[in-house]
Amino acid sequence: MSAAGFVLAINLFIAGLFATAFGIVAAYYRDAIGARWLALAYATGILNGVFEFMLPHQVDARPVSVSIFAAFLFALALSNVGIARHYGIRPPWRILGLIVVASLAVNVAILDMPRDSFVRAMLYQAPYAVLQFLGAVLVLSRKSNRALDMALVGLMVLVTLNYLSKPFIALLIGSGGSPQGYLSSNYAAISQSTAAVLLISNGLLILLIIVRDMMADMTARSETDPLSGLLNRRGFEDRAEKARLLAVRAGAPAAMIVADLDHFKAINDSFGHAAGDRAIAAFGRVLRESFDLRAVIGRLGGEEFAVLLPGADLGVARGAAETARRRLRELSGEERGMERQMTSSFGIAVLEPGESLADLLRRADTALYDAKSKGRDRVCVAPVTTVGILRDGPEQQARA
């Protein structure tokens, strides 16, 4: 076996590994739609290698030559579909179809051109370069790209340049006197070795991105309350604590708001639990619409909700709470999912020096019960305490 044939065998094994890896991810996590297409892309790429091994044994090399080109072309097109699906982008079906059809037509047209023709080599490699560059454009079209995504874009551009450089390499060292002699040429050894490095790099990067996003999605689901669409208690406490620490380090204010639906048991008793669920969902929507994007909003359980407002003083927190209270009262029957008007009560506590998240929640909860005892459908504020001052101790009091 020639050096190029040995590397080609390795590339087949690598393609099989990635096809299996993406297939396992797709089977394990059904929402990973992109992984299904990528598994199919790598499986199609295996056909390319199989046809490459068949080529030296052909009397008429043209049918297998076209098959080699088509297999790799389809593999790249499927890879673009997988990337688009993973990033939540609509695959550019028409563009991909046009590229594939036009490329196959050109490939058939250049079959009988001399193998040492630079024009022939460029027309052969250009479709691969175009499809690879299209993949980079698809990733870039997503605005919220991170380090791994940008690394993938860089790699795709590098692969694009690799395809465009091959005609120049073939011009310098030759690509074999005939299609059957390709695997015996130095050009094939260089081409297959480069392909191995890029194949591994590309596959690993895409796999890392899919696993990264899969883990992030699973974490988000574990921290999300399915009924209200807000954070559940675990997610709220985790993110609120991080926001509290950031506010403390920045010397910024923060406020905690605890709220719940008034007479929620009566809603369940009168209209049924389905109506109660709709009321919870409606209150969740109202809270999302009433606070800015920095707010950490969660459902603590039952009809009780909490909002941490980093950077907000008492005036801002009270204004936002009053807005939410009024919005809930003004919901239409269709928005509420019942004829009965819904009201809510709110308790507010402003973060004090040295105060923990648990203590802040406790004070806001006390203010909520104060609102309940005063007739509901109102906002009450927790009084300032000396808890933080006592906890800081004499040294920090003097420093303040």
Residue pLDDT tens, the chain, 400 long: 678 788 889 889 999 999 999 999 999 888 899 999 999 999 999 998 899 888 888 888 889 999 999 999 999 999 999 999 999 999 999 999 999 999 999 999 999 888 889 999 999 999 999 999 999 999 999 878 889 999 999 999 999 999 999 999 988 888 766 777 777 878 888 888 888 888 889 999 999 999 999 988 888 888 899 899 999 999 999 999 999 999 999 999 999 999 999 999 888 888 888 888 999 999 999 999 999 889 999 999 999 999 999 999 999 999 999 999 999 999 888 877 777 889 999 999 999 999 999 999 999 999 999 999 999 999 999 987 754 444 444 333 333 3
Could you give the residue range(s) of every CATH 3.30.70.270 domain in the chain? 233-399
Q: Which CATH number fits domain 3-222: 1.10.20, 1.20.1070, 1.10.8, 1.20.140?
A: 1.20.1070
Q: Give SS3 for 21.
A: helix
* Active-site choice (52, 223, 303, 352): 303
Give residue 185's identity as a one-letter amino acid code: S
CATH number of the 233-399 domain = 3.30.70.270
Give residue 313's identity as a one-letter amino acid code: D
Task: Please say if 303 is a catalytic residue.
Answer: yes
Measured CA to CA, the distance from residue 104 to residue 199 in angstroms comes to 23
Q: Is the pTM of this model over 0.85?
A: no
Listed in sequence order, the residues at least 6 apart from 99 whose beta carbon sits closer than 8 Å to its beta carbon are: 77, 127, 130, 131, 134
Could you give the residue range(s) of every CATH 1.20.1070 domain in the chain? 3-222
